[in-house]
């Protein structure tokens, strides 16, 4: 496993720095760290962090000894990857930054395909939601890197991610390098930024490792008690997987610690090659690690597989930080997550959560609409959406005069279903003021409001009851998920660390939108308070503006 980690690649990318930021540049405040490293662990719930925290010995142990908020919140209801990453470095909620979901429906889009991917530019001709043109066009916000480069042109802004949408949402518009997984390697959408040697070498190393089969990992004592198999379908058993894969199996590669190892290795190599943090102006390096998400989706969060992933992630992060230490750069780290996750309901029931279940397949909007239509004098597909729960749109084919009646009937029927907590219409949601105050006390409709943009969100938002998985029928790679307004999907750790920082362990509920203003204060970057939704966290030891 570790042969694709940092230690392995560092030797390969021993090239001398090709660039530093300009000699005459200055930090925005003398004590500013010269490098901000912002790490997102995709699907790292606070529940997982709490469970494994006593067992971490590597990078996660170190970061948890800084200012550690165990009750961080992706406060909104649409707990998906794109909205989650959009909050981390913008200080804005999905409702105000526009990233309300991974995909939404725009029935007026000027192309045949009306599905819009969050990190695409659908105006590019030939682009579709599947074969899309990667772009930050939908993000109505500036990231930390965007803001920093506007006042400190010598600063560099570099994003590396397991997914394009993560790298786009953390990096923003003005990036020097942006690399993410595409095909079986790392690719970029930037035309003129060149291909650093780090990328070529990392892709070569990935290809070499992928060409070999991977034997099963030996389970450590901590993981052994979790080895219990769950047969979810005749072809799908989870719970005791040990990450072995055949040569060339890239899906198997992504749902294993190998993927995070490769992503971190690329980030470390780019930091070295670009000499990030070695000039005077502060640089920003954002990293999104996707393997925890793929492991969670494929196997759930309570089995052997996630145990192996958590322990490997901790080791890989430790190696990554050690690499930064060796560079002598004065850096600060923040680590959080884009959302949490829910385990497979089958295992949750065994843990005593009796109501845990898979959703009725009939709740899927297309199916639901087909049954509803004849009952209300309609025909055809009257409802559209992406999976069970979340945004639902009334199809364009329904005449305008009849849309209110269709919406009323859909709301009523959904709300009457025993697995549905509530169904909210656009008008009901927009009547709710943008939430403020303690984030752990928000009502469900307040959570929905925080990720609702009336120009992009659905006509109706359906919220399933707690512990109802929207995956009606599990399939390979997709047994468990996230996306609900419940705390297992919203609550995430937020860890700030800088060399010499004193340990602060906080139970205070804070939000991921507080990260950007806190980092801005740390590096002396002025942020107009009315341009963001979050607030600076003084407990991190920074001078928050008054
Ligand atoms: Zn995610």
* Model confidence band, residue 52 (pLDDT cutoffs 50, 70, 90): very high
Span from the CA of 162 to the centroid of ligand 1 (angstroms): 10
Span from the CA of 396 to the centroid of ligand 1 (angstroms): 30
Mean pLDDT over the full length of the chain: 95
Confidence at residue 382, expressed as pLDDT on a 0 to 100 scale: 97
Confidence at residue 71, expressed as pLDDT on a 0 to 100 scale: 98
> Does residue 24 carry a pLDDT above 70?
no
Out of 20, 79, 81, 96, which one is annotated catalytic? 81
210 with 259, same domain: the answer is yes
Tokens 């939404």 locate to 104
Confidence at residue 546, expressed as pLDDT on a 0 to 100 scale: 85
CA angle at 337 for the pair 187 and 241, rounded to the nearest 5°: 80
Segments in 274-303 forming alpha helices (H): 291-299
DSSP helix/strand/coil, 228: coil
* Number of domains into which the chain is organized: 2
16 with 158, same domain: the answer is yes
Span from the CA of 60 to the centroid of ligand 1 (angstroms): 19
Span from the CA of 483 to the centroid of ligand 1 (angstroms): 9
**Whether residue 81 lies in the annotated active site:** yes
Q: Which of 475, 230, 476 lies closest to 345 in space, CA to CA?
A: 230
- Per the DSSP assignment, residues forming a β-bridge with 115 are 105
324 with 413, same domain: the answer is no
- Dihedral in degrees, nearest 10, Cα atoms 380, 382, 385, 388: -80
- Domain limit, last residue, from 431, 464, 497: 464
Residue 524 region by backbone torsions, left for phi larger than 0, else alpha for psi between -120 and 50, else beta: left
94 with 202, same domain: the answer is yes
Structural domain includes residue 113: no
- Here the CATH number for the domain that contains residue 437 is 3.30.1360.150
Q: What percent of the chain has pLDDT over 70?
A: 96
Q: What pTM does this model have?
A: 0.97
> Does residue 15 carry a pLDDT above 90?
no
Q: What percent of the chain has pLDDT over 90?
A: 94
Taking only the tens place, the pLDDT of each residue in 471-519 is 999 999 999 999 999 999 999 999 999 999 899 999 999 999 999 999 9
Structural domain includes residue 447: yes
Span from the CA of 338 to the centroid of ligand 1 (angstroms): 6
Span from the CA of 108 to the centroid of ligand 1 (angstroms): 28
Q: Which residues surround ligand 1, an ion (CB under 5 A)?
A: 42, 81, 293, 338
Taking only the tens place, the pLDDT of each residue in 331-369 is 999 999 999 999 999 999 999 999 999 999 999 999 999
Segments in 104-186 forming alpha helices (H): 144-151, 164-171
Span from the CA of 406 to the centroid of ligand 1 (angstroms): 33
Tokens 């105006």 locate to 123
* Model confidence band, residue 179 (pLDDT cutoffs 50, 70, 90): very high
> Does residue 540 carry a pLDDT above 50?
yes
Tokens 């992706």 locate to 74
DSSP helix/strand/coil, 68: strand
How far, in Å, CA of 206 to CA of 471, rounded? 32
> Does residue 13 carry a pLDDT above 80?
no
DSSP helix/strand/coil, 141: coil
Confidence at residue 10, expressed as pLDDT on a 0 to 100 scale: 53
> Does residue 6 carry a pLDDT above 70?
no
How far, in Å, CA of 284 to CA of 391, rounded? 34
* Mean local confidence (pLDDT), 59-75: 98
- Per the DSSP assignment, residues forming a β-bridge with 492 are 72
How far, in Å, CA of 492 to CA of 336, rounded? 7
- Here the CATH number for the domain that contains residue 304 is 3.40.720.10
195 with 217, same domain: the answer is yes
Structural domain includes residue 38: yes
Structural domain includes residue 129: no
Range of the domain at 81: 5-99+139-348+485-540
Structural domain includes residue 299: yes
401 with 513, same domain: the answer is no
How far, in Å, CA of 289 to CA of 262, rounded? 10
């Amino acid at each position: 496993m570790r042969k694709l980690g940092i230690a392995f690649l560092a030797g390969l990318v021993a090239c001398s720095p090709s660039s530093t930021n300009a000699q005459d540049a200055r930090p925005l405040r003398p004590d500013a760290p010269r490098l901000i490293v912002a790490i997102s662990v995709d699907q790292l719930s606070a529940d997982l962090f709490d469970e494994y925290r006593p067992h971490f010995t590597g990078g996660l142990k170190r970061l948890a000894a800084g200012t550690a908020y165990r009750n961080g919140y992706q406060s909104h209801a649409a707990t998906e990857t794109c909205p989650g990453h959009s909050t981390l470095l913008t200080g804005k909620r999905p409702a105000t930054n526009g990233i309300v979901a991974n995909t939404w429906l725009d029935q007026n889009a000027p192309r045949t395909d009306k599905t819009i991917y969050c990190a695409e530019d659908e105006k590019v001709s030939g682009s579709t939601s599947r074969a899309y043109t990667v772009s930050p066009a939908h993000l109505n916000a500036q990231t930390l890197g965007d803001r920093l480069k506007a006042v400190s042109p010598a600063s560099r802004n570099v994003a590396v991610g397991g997914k394009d949408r993560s790298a786009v949402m953390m990096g923003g518009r003005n990036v020097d390098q942006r690399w993410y997984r595409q095909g079986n390697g790392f690719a970029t959408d930037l035309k003129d930024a060149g291909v650093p040697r780090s990328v070529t070498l990392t892709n070569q190393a990935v290809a070499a490792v992928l060409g070999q089969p991977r034997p099963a990992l030996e389970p450590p004592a901590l993981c052994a008690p979790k080895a219990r198999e769950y047969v979810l379908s005749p072809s799908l058993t989870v719970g005791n997987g040990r990450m072995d894969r055949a040569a060339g199996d890239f899906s198997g590669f992504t749902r294993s610690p190998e993927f995070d190892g490769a992503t971190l290795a690329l980030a470390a190599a780019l930091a070295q090659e670009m000499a990030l943090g070695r000039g005077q102006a502060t640089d920003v390096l954002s990293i999104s690690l996707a393997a925890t998400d793929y492991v969670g989706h494929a196997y759930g969060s309570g089995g052997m597989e996630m145990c192996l992933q958590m322990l490997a992630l901790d080791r890989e992060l430790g190696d990554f930080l050690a690499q930064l230490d060796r560079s002598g750069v004065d850096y600060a780290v923040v680590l959080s997550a884009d959302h949490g996750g829910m385990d497979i309901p089958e295992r949750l029931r065994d843990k005593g959560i009796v109501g845990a279940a898979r959703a009725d397949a009939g709740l899927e909007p297309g199916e639901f609409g087909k049954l509803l239509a004849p009952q209300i004098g309609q025909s055809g597909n009257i409802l559209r959406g992406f999976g069970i729960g979340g945004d639902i749109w009334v199809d364009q084919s329904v005449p305008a005069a009849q849309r209110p009646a269709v919406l009323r009937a859909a709301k009523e029927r959904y709300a009457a279903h025993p697995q549905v907590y509530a169904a909210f219409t656009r008008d009901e949601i927009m009547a709710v003021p943008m939430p403020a105050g303690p984030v752990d006390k928000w009502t469900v409709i307040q959570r929905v409001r925080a990720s609702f943009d009336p120009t992009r969100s659905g006509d109706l938002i359906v919220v399933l009851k707690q512990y109802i998985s929207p995956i009606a029928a599990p399939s390979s790679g997709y047994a468990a998920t996230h996306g609900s307004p419940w705390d297992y999907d919203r609550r995430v750790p937020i860890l700030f660390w800088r060399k010499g920082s004193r340990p602060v362990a906080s139970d205070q509920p804070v939000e991921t939108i507080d990260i950007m203003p806190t980092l801005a204060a740390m590096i002396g970057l002025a942020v107009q308070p009315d341009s963001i939704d979050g607030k600076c966290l003084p407990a991190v030891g920074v001078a928050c503006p008054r």
